[in-house]
Each structure stands twice: as structure tokens, then as C-alpha cells.
A and B are shown apart, each in its own frame.
Chain A
Amino acid sequence: MKLEQNLDKNLELFKSKLKSDDVTFLNLNVGSSKAFLIFVNDIVNKEELGHLILRPIARYQGQVTEKKLFDLFLSPEKTKINQFEDCLKEVLLGSALLVVDGLTSAFSFGLKQFERRAITEPPTSTVLKGPREGFVESLPVNISMMRRKLKSPDLIFENVTVGRYSKTPISLCYLGGIADKALVEKLKNKLKSIKIDAVLDSSYISKFLCEHNISIFKQVGNTEKPDILAAKILEGRVAIFVDGSPIALTVPYLLLEDFQSPSDYYNSSYSATVARGIRFLSVLIALFLPAFFVASELFHLQLIPLSFLLTIVNSIKGIPLSPSYEMFFTLMIFEILNEASVRMPKYVGMVVSIVGGLVLGETAVTAGIISAPTLMIVALSGICLYTVPELEQTFSVLRLVFLIIAGAFGCYGILATIALLFIHLITFENYNTPLFAPFSPLIKDDMKDAFYKGFLSELQFRPKSLRNKNKRRILLNEEGEND
């Protein structure tokens, strides 16, 4: 709907839509014409409003024309709008809107001022070496952080608004010469097609970006750190920022990327390779140790060395639960403690850890409810899972599945479940990118940054697993041509 020339009609229209008490309607005179200014009280910088808008208005004496008025204001962020819906959107986003009698366009001034959190190190990805800054909830701040990392005209931000009530600004970020255009278009269309009441966090968006809803595996990557995001964008991924969320999403996603820690790239190649090996091994231990232990106890005693078998026999003497129930029970206690300690206030969380971990565990073993090896295996599995924190939720569900299968079917059941999971992983594709690359399909060049972390000088090409353009990332010489 277009704005009317008649000021009173416009005022009535705005008042009918903006009934909230925090919206201010300010009547004024601009030269010889009447006008009104609309803004939301607490999100507009009043000092700037006075200096850049109200003072020039008070001093203005001449005839009112659109061009003259537009030139009058000193605000760097000013636009002319003639659609009523766009005017409403601007006001709600934190702009001040000036509507003048006799004009069919309104003037919007970007004077938003939101309270924002200081930039700190994100709790989910702390590092010993490397940058410590993390994204915050403010989209402009996050964009400025990315601009500081990649000072290139190729760094492109494209904005979309999602959410019928929240009108959340979402920004797609990519490197023009590297990211696949078809992917960017697909993502834009997906974002535009989201019809949801509100987007309160980026995780809302990630659910809509998944191409397969029933998979247990993540399909969209995420990070809270600008350095990691810059590296991912440089590999050809597209990032998605959501206003109000400190977590940026990245597409396409490879399972391997959660095994790659930022510190791998800041430390020596040798230590990074060892660290990665430990991470892979830890995940295997976390997933399969409880299951294989139960299967061995129940069905395959021959798998356990004799001396260890004697230790187990001594420790399970008098335990009322069967091995699978015992492991399941202990694992559930661990999951409950984990869930409680995440949600509890920090100072109570410490107490819960001590009571749960030490007192409860020790007492349960002494009371003969669970055996010491079971407790140790669950504890080890729990710790190992946190070496890849991004996949902790997926793997803890899988661990339970493997445990149930182990109790019911033994080792062959575990092998069959691994095979099932493996078939799912190798055939799974999101945005034309195989989730299990570069292992399957095997991409030789990308293996330099998989199990083994190659020297930086070896990583001359962007990952072939992703459909990126401009493959070479290290030029051969100063004038070296990119392929």
C-alpha cells in the first residue's frame, strides 16, 4: 500500500498499526509544512536523532520538496520509502521515520541503538593459541568482525528478512569468486521460503536448511568464531548470520569438519596430526567401548584376556543387574548428571559434579549396585565424547543405540549396526556434498587435512569435497595464476 499525500490519513494509518506505548509519534513543522516523526523509544539513539534530524528540521525555513528535504539531513543512513509496509518494517527495525504533509514518500533514518554484549571468547570453543574473539548477538557487529578478517570486495553479504512476527534480519555471507553460485541461489530461495512466526536463534534456520529431516547427523555446520568462519568461507562455504544469535551457520557441511579444531591450524602439523588421531580414537572409544564390553561379557567371553576376565568376575560378583542393564543404568545416570550440570547455575553445578561423580559413583560401587569396570568404562566413554563437542549429542544417542544392540545381538549386531550407519553416511548428501567426504568418496587431495594434518604449504588447493570455484588457495609465485 502506498503512502497518502494527506498527513492526517497517514498518521491515522500508522497509529492503527503501531499501538504499542513504546512507539513515539512526534508532531513537528518542517518549514511551512506539517509533519510527524515516528520511532520506537528504546531502540533509537536519541542523541543522534536530535543532532542529525531534529536540529536541521528546526532550522529549515524554505519550501518543502522531496529533494531539498533529503539533502537537508546529515544522517549517513537515510532512504526514501513510499510503501506503507516498508515504513512499518523500518520503524520496527529501529529507524526513525519522517512523514511530511503533501509528500508521498517518507524518510527513514537508520539510528538504531541496541544494548549489546561485549565481544568475549565463546565458551564452546576456547583455544590456547589463536584469536579469542567470538561472535555476539548483534548482526552488524558480526558483519564488522568478518569484514575485519577478509578485507576483500569479493566478500558479499546478502540480506533476507525471515519471521512473520520477528522480522529477523538474516545475512548470507560468501566470497564471490569462490563460493558456488548455484549453492548461494539455492540457499537464498530456501531462506525466502521459510514461513515461520519468529527466528529466535540460528538453530531455527538450520532445521529448515536440512535436506533430509530424518537423519541423526548434522547437516549444517556452525561456529562462534570469526577466524573459523573466515577459514570456512575461504574454502567455498556460505555462512548465514542471524540477528540475535552468536552462532553463524555454514553450508555445505562435512562430518570431518567437526574433527578439525582451530588449534590444529595454529600448532605444528605433527602435534595437530597426533591431536586429530586422539580425537578419532576417542570417538571410537566413546561410541563402541560400552557396547563391546557388554557384548563380550554376555556373548563373547573369549574376547577378554584371562587376567582381565578374572578381574571382571571378581568385580561383578553380587551385582544384581545383568551386564547390559548395569551399563545402561550407569550410562543413564551419567546422561542425567550431564544434563543437570549443563542447566544448573555454575556454583551449584560444581556441587552436582562432586556429589554425582564422586559420591554417587563411589557409593554405587561400594553398595554393589554397579561394578567398578562398568563405572570406569562409562566415565571414559563420557570424557572421550567431549573431544569432539560439536557431535556430542549425535554420538551420545548412537552410543545408547549401540549399547541396546550389544545387549540384544552381541558383536555381530554391533557390526551390522556399524554397517547400517556406514551405508547411511556414505550415501548421504546435502547440497550435493557427500557428508562422509573425503573418506568416501575418497578424495586424495583432501586427505591432507583429514586424519593427517598436512603442512600449510601442502594445502595448496581448496577442498575438492566442496563445489567451490577458484581451486588454488596458495599461489605458486607472486603473479601466479589461479586456475
Chain B
Amino acid sequence: MINKNQYELSFRQVCLFLIALVPVSKMFMMPSVLAKHSNEDLWLSALLNFSLDFITLFFVVLSCKNAKNTLIGALEDKFGKTKTKILFCFYLLYFLLKALVPINEQKDYVEQTLYNLTPTILYFCPFFLVAFFFCLKHLRVLGRTSDVVWFTTIVGILIIFALSLGNMDISSILPIGANGVSNVVKGSFSSFTWFGDALYLMFFIGQFKFEEGGTKKILLSFLCSAVVIVLFTIIFYSVFTSIAFRQKFALTEISKYATVINNIGRFDYIGIMLILFSNIFSLSLPLYFACKILSYVFSIKYKWLSATIVIGIQAIVLIFFNQYVYSIENFVMNDLGVFFLIFSNVIPIIISLLIKKENKNEVAV
């Protein structure tokens, strides 16, 4: 049972979490991946994924209401310890795979855009140190991070939007749906690795006090993030039109044609740096949850040990097996769509319904 005097998160922090950490990781390579499959309908692919997450989030939020137990506690009560651990083994794999593509993409971004003069993977290594330190902390760190990082996210996004709006040609995304449903679905399928954020909320069950009207507030926070990203994909395609899929790192490309940059230098880098800062935490999230799951599944007492294992795996794969990473990345993006769909959306909905039913029964008793 949960100790109501010791909630790890506050309700406000949960809402800010959705605003601060959900949109940033989707602003680097994802728009160009979507553009590759869906062309001018890339925003529809993004919208489709957000809709799936929105539905999942709705069920998860319902189970957060009147939660009598944490996620692990509720699952253990329902299925027993062994079955819960087996399920969490799959989630460990899920988080490790989910982390791989965005982190590799971030590594490439850092190497190719920030260190174009001297590209070397070493420059990205400090990220692993931050992620390691992040993983050592209690769940409270997520809420407290969100309390501040929402500001850097919003300011960063505003700067980027302000600098890129002037170069858009909105007619390039018209007519809507011209690219066909199958391509939209294909785009959506290949970008599942960047989505599935409702799942994080599932791990917050029983960790925060639900406020009155909380369902609306949480869904609205998520909607804000969704609108920002959908807008971002629209702006991205409107700036680059048919060559959008070639612009691998949307965030740097989208604003560089602003007139102000010609006069005072790359002013947009302030926004980029702010988003990069928020993204450090966003990228650490799957690693953080992988750590917690590893500790639970294998009953590892020392946080540093699970953090070393999880971060170590990621670092070794990205640093030493770099030539294979792109094959893994392709496999994750093209063949693991169903896997991501099941673990990001289907299972969370089932679990949420079960927990909600359990809560209802307890209230009735």
C-alpha cells in the first residue's frame, strides 16, 4: 500500500513532466523519418501516434485516480511476484531498445552539427555520466527536473518557432492526405520508438496525489506537447517541402534561414542549446526506468550497480559497436513497430483497466 504522506511526485510535477520532457526528443531526427515515409502528411503520422498515446494516457490516468497501490504493488497483488517480474523483463528490453535510437540520433546530432570541425564520439560521452547520475536518484528527481526544465523547453521551442515561421510555405502540406493512408500509417509505424510516453505515467501510479479535475489537466498537458510537435512537423515540411526527408536534424535546419541570423550570427543556437539541455533528461528517461526495473527484477540492492549495467550496455553498443548501431536502428524502426505498439499502448491499457477495476472493488468493499 502507498504511504499518502510520502508521495514522490506532486500533481503539478506530473503535468509539467508531460510538457517538459515529452516533446523535446521528437525534434531532432523524427520529422525527417516521418517525411521520408509520409511526405507532406508527416504531421498526420505524428498525430496518429499522439492519438494512440492520448487514448493510452486516458486509461492510465483513470487508473491513477484513487490508486491504492503503486504499479509494482498492484501487479504483484494481481498476478504474483514471478509473473510481474517476467512482464518487467520485457519492459527492461523495451526500455533498452527505446533508448537506443534517440540516443544514437543525439550522438550523431552532437557530432555532426556541434562538432563538425572535429567529430569524435568522445564529445558525447558526458551524456552517459549525466544519465548514470540521474539513474542513481529517487523518483522525486523526475518531478523536480520537470519543475525547472519546462521553462527551458518552452523558451527553446519559442525561439526556434519564432525564427522559422517566416520561412514557411504552408501550401506545401496541402492537400491533406494526398500521400495515402498507407504511407501515413507506415510513417507512424516507423516512429513508434519516439512515442509511447503514456507508459511513463503508468509507472507513476500511486506515486502522486490525484487532484480534482486531474484527468483534464493531465490530458491537456499532453495535448500541449502533441500540438507543439505536430506544429513543428508542419513548419519543418513547410520550410523544406520535398527535400525535408534529407534534412536529418530538423532542429538545426529549420531556423537557419531566418534573416536575423545573417545579421547577428546563429542566434537560434540559444534555443537549440536549451532544447538540448532538456533533451538530456528526456533521453535519460528510458534508461532511468530500465535501471529501476533491473533493480526490481533481479533484486539488485545497489543503485549504482543497476545504473552501471544499463548505462554500460548503451555506452558499449553506441561507442564500440557503432558500425552495427545503424542496422539495429533500422531493425528497431522498421521491424519492431508491433513490439512497441504492444508495450507502449496495449499492455498499459490492459494494466490500467485491471488496476481501475481493483480500485473500484476496494472502494465497494
Contact = CB atoms under 8 A, between A and B. Distances in A.
A413 B123 contact: yes
B334 to A, nearest CB: 29
A299 interface: yes
Nearest to B279: A415
Interface in B108-126: 110, 114-115, 117-118, 122-126
B144 A441 contact: yes
User: Which of A300, A409, A411, A442 has the most chain B CB atoms closer than 10 A to its own CB?
Assistant: A442
B163 to A, nearest CB: 15
Contact of B144 (A299, A306, A413, A440): A440
B273 interface: yes
B93 interface: no
Interface stretch (B130-138, B192-200, B290-298): B130-138
Nearest to B137: A427
A417 interface: yes
B144 A308 contact: no
A434 B147 CA distance: 13
A305 B143 CA distance: 38
* Chain B at the A interface: SS class: helix
A241 to B, nearest CB: 34
Interface in B135-156: 137-138, 140-141, 143-145, 147-148
B147 A423 contact: no
The size class of the interface chain A forms with chain B is 20 to 34
A439 B130 contact: no
Contact of B130 (A302, A423, A440): A423
Contacts of A127: none
B265 A304 contact: yes
Contacts of B265: 302-306, 308
B303 interface: no
A381 to B, nearest CB: 19
Given A409-B123, A411-B273, A416-B126, A426 B148 contact: yes
B140 to A, nearest CB: 7
A428 to B, nearest CB: 10
Given A302-B266, A420-B129, A420-B133, A410 B141 contact: no
Interface in A424-444: 424, 426-427, 434, 436, 439-442
A415 B147 contact: no
A344 interface: no
Contacts of B281: 419
B277 A412 contact: no
Nearest to A405: B126
A419 B129 CA distance: 10
B127 interface: yes
Contacts of B117: 299, 301
A440 B148 contact: yes
Interface in A388-424: 405, 409-413, 415-420, 422-424
Contacts of A412: 110, 114-115, 123-124, 126-127, 276
B114 A439 contact: no
Contacts of A409: 122-123, 125-126
Interface in A127-169: none
Contacts of A410: 114-115, 123
A299 B116 CA distance: 8
Given A303-B265, A306-B265, A415-B277, 18 more contacts: A299-B115, A300-B269, A303-B266, A305-B264, A409-B123, A411-B273, A412-B126, A413-B123, A419-B130, A419-B281, A423-B141, A427-B138, A427-B141, A434-B144, A439-B147, A440-B144, A441-B13, A442-B16
Closest A-B pairs by Cβ, 4 of them: A305-B265, A416-B126, A426-B144, A442-B147
30 contacts: A299-B114, A299-B117, A300-B115, A302-B265, A409-B126, A410-B123, A412-B110, A412-B123, A412-B126, A412-B276, A413-B126, A415-B277, A415-B280, A416-B129, A416-B130, A417-B126, A419-B130, A419-B277, A419-B280, A419-B281, A423-B133, A426-B144, A426-B145, A426-B147, A427-B140, A427-B144, A436-B144, A440-B144, A441-B13, A441-B143
Interface of B: 10, 12-13, 16, 110, 114-115, 117-118, 122-127, 129-130, 133-134, 137-138, 140-141, 143-145, 147-148, 264-266, 269, 273, 276-277, 280-281
